[in-house]
Homo-oligomer: A and B are copies of this chain.
């Protein structure tokens, strides 16, 4: 844990850099827009906490109507449960003795469910749950196009569900069908095609299970790029968007036109300083690869006209100035829009909450580094 970049009341220009800052108003408008967009639809909202890793944000999401949160790792869930969050779905598989022991301990403290996609893992969870005298809620994760985790829909999923229903340590809750890559398809029609396919596979599997007497109480999935499609599908019961509260450069490249979805605002920024200025055209900022994940592209420069983030090295970012750019100065503070919000947030211990140009709060990112 490093020293804080700011104190409550500091002006934006007095925040030490690089720092992760949150525009509180934009953040609140994003949260309200999400809830309003699904208002009246038969869908629960369970935001993904892998994006923010911050219990203070989880509390606000739940206060605004979310049924709980998603986490991606047992240790991540632990950080939230220790901070008092009572309803967590680990929308991912938890494999391995140490992790399962942690999971079972948490299931005794909070309402916790987990995904499975393999009979061996189901058996290991069952054994540990029986030993602890609990029943652990599980969703079967389906592979619906993301080419990542998940069991094949249809027959394989049915066989796994039937096996789980025979396991006294497990409680079968339903299906997890998340299509990650679909979130970042640029046009709505591409996203719709992918999600329609995922929904169809999920519906068919749900119906197949029903035919065999197995009821899916929950059908969960969806992210910031597609959630309205799942919310309107009459198949999904829960949506799991994460990035909508923050947004990032990658999501800003999606076309939201005519999608019927709210257009979320950028609320998350990296505050950086110009630390080297050889000539007016060559400015270097103090935020590089350790301050902004570049897996989905470089950060964008907010506020300044015609200035581009050109290159990142470990601790530096080189800016390029176009003809319409104004003069920059040494020490100048600049806001960057991170290329990809989730792994960028994971680089910081704190979120500096800014309102009307002043630091209003500092929220610890307690699950930062919770990889396991």
Contact = CB atoms under 8 A, between A and B. Distances in A.
Nearest to A91: B315
Contact of A295 (B95, B282, B284, B294): B294
Contacts of A3: 75, 78, 372
A35 B286 CA distance: 32
B96 A331 contact: yes
Contacts of A295: 289, 294-295, 312
A143 interface: yes
Interface string A134-159: 00000000010001111110000000
A105 to B, nearest CB: 12
A96 B17 contact: yes
Contacts of A120: 330-331
A248 interface: no
Contacts of A78: 3
B273 A96 contact: yes
Interface residues of A, number: 71
A216 interface: no
A73 B275 CA distance: 11
A250 interface: no
A269 to B, nearest CB: 15
Interface string A6-22: 00000000101111000
A220 interface: no
A39 interface: no
A46 interface: no
Interface stretch (A231-239, A344-352, A353-361): A344-352
Nearest to A316: B148
Contacts of A312: 295
A293 interface: yes
A75 B4 CA distance: 11
A340 B314 CA distance: 10
A178 to B, nearest CB: 11
A342 interface: yes
A109 interface: no
Contacts of A99: 16
A16 B331 contact: no
A18 B96 contact: no
A118 interface: yes
A60 B16 CA distance: 32
Query: Which of A14, A19, A149, A311 gathers most chain B CB within 10 Å?
Result: A149
A149 B75 contact: no
Contacts of A335: none
Contacts of A276: 93, 95, 117-118, 148-150
Contacts of A152: 278
Nearest to A152: B278
A93 B315 CA distance: 11
Contacts of A31: none
B2 A291 contact: no
Nearest to A367: B2
8 contacts: A1-B369, A73-B315, A93-B276, A96-B273, A148-B276, A289-B343, A291-B371, A347-B371
Interface of A: 1-3, 5, 14, 16-19, 50, 72-73, 75, 78-79, 92-96, 98-99, 117-118, 120-121, 143, 147-152, 180, 273-278, 282, 284, 286-287, 289-291, 293-295, 311-316, 318, 330-331, 340, 342-343, 346-349, 368-372
Closest 4 CB pairs of A and B: A149-B276, A95-B275, A289-B343, A16-B98
